Structure 1
Amino acid sequence: MKTDHTHHLDNPDKSGPPPKLDVVGTVPGAPPAPEGAEAMTILVTLPPNSPGAPPHRHSGPAYGYVIKGAVNFELEGDPVRVVRPGETFWEPGGDVIHYQDGNHLADEESQFVVTMFCAPGQPMLIPVSPEELEARRDRRAPRS
């Protein structure tokens, strides 16, 4: 089932054409935000060749959009993919490990905007210990 997300904003009292809205991504069946969550939108700038954040998880779902460069994105159980400008990514949060969000480019910076729904009293990013990474190694997609 596909939902029509188009919008038509006609306002005859204003001069000029109405805005054009394009849906660039959706997440069917996304998990709900934690009870009392704080929504936080951040702009992340990755210098050339930056590995990004260490393996981590979030207390709630996160949804992002690459605006510049190219980002390596890897969630537990999924292969690494390169997300380019105009493309979106999301993660469910909770127990899923986010392995990579580094800059795919060695010679220019990359940027993405991400909105996270953080559980009250929890940090936005919770690092995963080397011991837990080793214990969950079988859940990581094969790497080439």
Structure 2
Amino acid sequence: MDPYEKVKNTLTEIQSITPPFIPADAEVMTVRVEYPPGDPGVPPHRHPGGPCFGYILEGEMVFEVQGEPPRVVKAGEAFWEPGGDAIHYQDANNRTDSPLRFVVTMLMAPGQPMLVFLDDDELQQSGWVRRSPA
């Protein structure tokens, strides 16, 4: 079999994104995240060093990034966030009867933290209120 034909027949594109920026000399980190049933995820935060790309391995995530309504991302689906100043409001487990497991690959500017939590004043100024997906 032609190797190009094999590649064509074995790959499934899950998402194709043009990120708003990729930091010069970016470092790449891939992490696995696991939340128990009903877990609200981490508090609202930013990824100042660059964009993040994720894939749900198991379960369902309530995913909400600034400027977009919350949505449910299910096992086998991908998500991304632009990083920088964009606020990542939710990454909660949408299910109370099963765990959530996902992987995230982050492109980060050298010396930047993986994530930075919002303080109470900044969160209040953003006007965000936790909502369920439509």
**How much does 1:143 deviate?**
4.0
RMSD value, Cα: 2.0
Consecutive unaligned residues of structure 2, counting only runs of 5 or more, are none
Of 95, 100, 104, 1:105 maps to 95
**How much does 1:111 deviate?**
0.8
Q: Which residue of 2 aligns with 1:131?
A: 121
**How much does 1:69 deviate?**
0.4
Provide closer, same or farther for how the CA distance between residues 52 and 143 of structure 1 changes in structure 2, counting only shifts above 3 A. closer
Q: Deviations 1:35-80 (Å, cap 9, x if unpaired)?
A: 1221001111111111111100002000111111000100011111
Q: Which residue of 2 aligns with 1:10?
A: 2
**How much does 1:32 deviate?**
2.4
**How much does 1:123 deviate?**
1.2
**How much does 1:18 deviate?**
3.7
TM-score of the pair, normalised by structure 2? 0.87
Q: Which residue of 2 aligns with 1:116?
A: 106
* Equivalent pair of 1:79/1:141 in contact (CA under 8 Å): no
Consecutive unaligned residues of structure 1, counting only runs of 5 or more, are 1-8, 12-16
Q: Distance in 2 between matches of 1:40 and 1:91?
A: 15
Structure with greater helix share of residues: 2
Question: Aligned residues, how many?
Answer: 128
Q: Distance in 2 between matches of 1:94 and 1:141?
A: 21
Structure with greater strand share of residues: 2
Q: Distance in 1 between matches of 2:110 and 2:75?
A: 31
Provide closer, same or farther for how the CA distance between residues 143 and 107 of structure 1 changes in structure 2, counting only shifts above 3 A. closer
Q: Which residue of 1 aligns with 2:59?
A: 69
Q: Distance in 2 between matches of 1:119 and 1:35?
A: 7
Q: Percent identity?
A: 48
Provide closer, same or farther for how the CA distance between residues 51 and 141 of structure 1 changes in structure 2, counting only shifts above 3 A. closer
Of 68, 74, 85, 1:84 maps to 74
SS at match of 1:101: strand
Q: Deviations 1:81-134 (Å, cap 9, x if unpaired)?
A: 000011111100000000000100111101111100112111111101110011
Point out the structure with max Rg over C-alpha.
1
TM-score of the pair, normalised by structure 1? 0.81
* Equivalent pair of 1:78/1:141 in contact (CA under 8 Å): no
